Chain A
Amino acid sequence: MTLTLGNIAKTFPCGTRALRPTDLEIEQGEILSLLGPSGCGKSTLLRIIAGLETPDPGASIVFDGEDVTHQSVDRRKIGMVFQSYALFPNMSVRGNIGYGLKMQKLPRAEIAARVEEVIELCRLEPYADRAITALSGGQRQRVALARAMAPRPRVLLLDEPLSALDAALRGQLRDELALLLREFGITAIFVTHDQDEAMAIADRVAVMSQGEVAQIGTPEALYRNPATGFVARFVGDAMPLEGHIERETLHLQGGMLGLPRASDGQQVLVRAEDIRIDPQGPIAARVETVTFLGTHYRIALSGAMTGPLFMLHAGFSAPKPGDKVRISIPPEALLVLPLDTAA
């Protein structure tokens, strides 16, 4: 299903602008992630698409050419996975999964067959007759997905579906979810505050900040070409290089860096993985701490700029705290972006 959102805004009764007018287009079978910190409006946007929240007047929500802006949630034929899963404690796993089909008033035999089908797809066979309270977090998450998918919704909306799980399980279920969603081939919108989750699951990511979409694109495009400092910081943890820009040169405390173009009045950011230890490097720094992380070391440097600068160092050995080092940054890794507008 193609989803077209036009001029979606939300002002809460208290006057808070949760969402500035937003337009968005989602293609058939596409998985879009809404990524941003809490309070950026991503959940509000999702709830408006679901019909759980009413947008400000002038909005339009179109599902495959059908205007659903004024349709109530129970008529929109959507599937939704909630952060808390919202599984019905008064029904078994099977009862939960079959509920949407029951609402469609399908014949009993067909409901049973389709519930079985989804149970199998989500590998829930051993738990099908259990009570919800007898399930683990990961199992509940799968039941929530199965329940949302069973009625074959036009679009699947997921609101932080993994955030209630512990870290180890979250990683595993993230990949599982990415595979399942593609198996279903459904158009899906996925809200998260976790950039790894967004990148692992989504075809396209819309990074949101302060009630608006800051940038939308494939995970790679966002990582390589962030449009704003916020996007660079949020996707891939870019650090601002605190220094003084004079035309094509960035003056830092530990040395000078050449910039690809004259960049006065802008900011320069860099990611930890793009900084190299290089005896011929232009910047002097001192190693403060070294943390071994398995695949690499994370090193905190002082003296390069006023604040600490972090770098990732691969290899079998690393400098010791107190060592004086020189570092370099390849020019293509420098992200020269406009200054953030004060919020």
Chain B
Amino acid sequence: MRHVTRHLPLAVTLLACAFLLIPIIQSILAGLTVNYFRGLSSGLTLKWIGQVWELYSDSIFLSIGLAMACLAVTLVLGVPAAYVLARNPGRTSRVLEEFISLPLAIPGLALALALLQLYGTVQGFRTSWTFILVGHVLYTLPFMVRSVLSVLAAIDLKTLEEGAASLGASPVRRFIDIVVPNAMPGILAGALTVVTLSIGEFNLTWMLHTPYLKTLPVGLADSYASMRLEVASAYTLVFFVMIVPLLMAMQWASARAQRITQ
């Protein structure tokens, strides 16, 4: 009986891992086999990955570009916003923080519809990549603000700034020399989250994209819908290779930021 209680949790864990991992392994293998339906015996190939590159390299570059632009915008908007919220704690700040976080609670679909209703008729903007960028910024900004805010809230920012001011530092210098360096762990964690989310975002992007503007996940859906399974699986592999290192870096950075806030 004791035997069972000892091994049962392990077995459950292994099963859960298998449940999560087997489809991934299968998908990766599918992307590398010559013919998935004949199985591994048909041989391994990089042909499909080559084809993905040919067909969808634009999507890869668009996604990377979009993620970088999204990062730039969330940094420029998010860090000062978090700073202002941290320096003025109070009811108004709390309400504003909730407003910034609101897009998290609304399905991407609804958000996209709202954007389409509001800006869909603006010529040039609707078909531009900046339209998708607006959606991504809306969706990722709360992550940046919250990440920076939690680090700033954990340090005595007001006194640190007063210290710098007493030494002759102007408000701009204080922001550059004191606020930003001390918020860095939060900024880094937020930045990695923003990039990871932007590259992987599907819901909103699916609604906003045009045939000429397919991001990585939209291209993935497209490839599963219209290409042979091996190509789509190879696409999944490419996606993995891009997103997994980002994901790991994000976890490392968040853990680091968390240590400061404790």
Contact = CB atoms under 8 A, between A and B. Distances in A.
B partners with A = yes
Given A89-B182, A90-B178, A99-B177, A74 B162 contact: no
A74 B160 CA distance: 13
Contact of B167 (A52, A89, A103, A157): A103
A157 B166 CA distance: 10
Interface string A145-180: 001100100000100000000000000000000000
B169 interface: yes
B173 A80 contact: no
Nearest to A76: B166
Nearest to A97: B167
Contact of A88 (B163, B165, B173): B163
B132 to A, nearest CB: 36
Interface in B141-167: 155-156, 159-160, 162-167
Contacts of A75: 168
Contact of A147 (B156, B160, B167, B182): B167
Given A90-B178, A90-B182, A151 B156 contact: no
Interface in A85-127: 86-90, 99-100, 103-104
A48 to B, nearest CB: 13
A80 B166 contact: yes
A77 interface: yes
B130 interface: no
B167 A151 contact: yes
A134 B160 CA distance: 18
Contact of A50 (B156, B164, B166): B166
B170 interface: yes
A90 B166 contact: no
Nearest to B155: A89
A73 interface: yes
Contacts of B184: 90
Contact of B178 (A79, A88, A100): A88
A247 B127 CA distance: 98
B195 to A, nearest CB: 24
Interface string A67-84: 000001111011110101
A333 to B, nearest CB: 44
Contacts of B167: 74, 79, 99-100, 103, 147-148, 151
B43 interface: no
A103 B163 contact: no
Contact of B168 (A50, A82, A86, A151): A151
A79 B182 CA distance: 22
B245 interface: no
B181 interface: yes
A335 B184 CA distance: 60
A90 B177 CA distance: 9
B159 A84 contact: yes
Contact of A100 (B156, B159, B168, B181): B168
Interface in B165-190: 165-170, 173, 177-178, 181-182, 184
Nearest to B183: A90
A88 B182 CA distance: 8
B162 A82 contact: yes
B165 A52 contact: yes
Contacts of A104: 168
B169 A74 contact: yes
Contacts of A86: 156, 159-160, 162-163
B225 to A, nearest CB: 50
Contacts of B182: 88-90
Given A84-B156, A86-B159, A99 B164 contact: yes
Nearest to B173: A103
Interface string A281-324: 00000000000000000000000000000000000000000000
Contacts of B156: 84, 86
Contacts of B178: 88, 90
Given A89-B182, A90-B182, A73 B177 contact: no
Contacts of B165: 51-52, 72-74
B173 A73 contact: no
A77 B168 contact: yes
Shortest 3 CB-CB contacts between residues of A and residues of B: A86-B163, A100-B167, A103-B168
Given A75-B168, A80-B162, A84-B156, 14 more contacts: A52-B162, A73-B162, A73-B166, A74-B165, A86-B159, A86-B160, A86-B163, A87-B163, A88-B178, A90-B181, A100-B167, A100-B168, A147-B167, A157-B166
Interface of B: 155-156, 159-160, 162-170, 173, 177-178, 181-182, 184
6 contacts: A52-B165, A80-B166, A82-B162, A84-B159, A86-B156, A86-B159
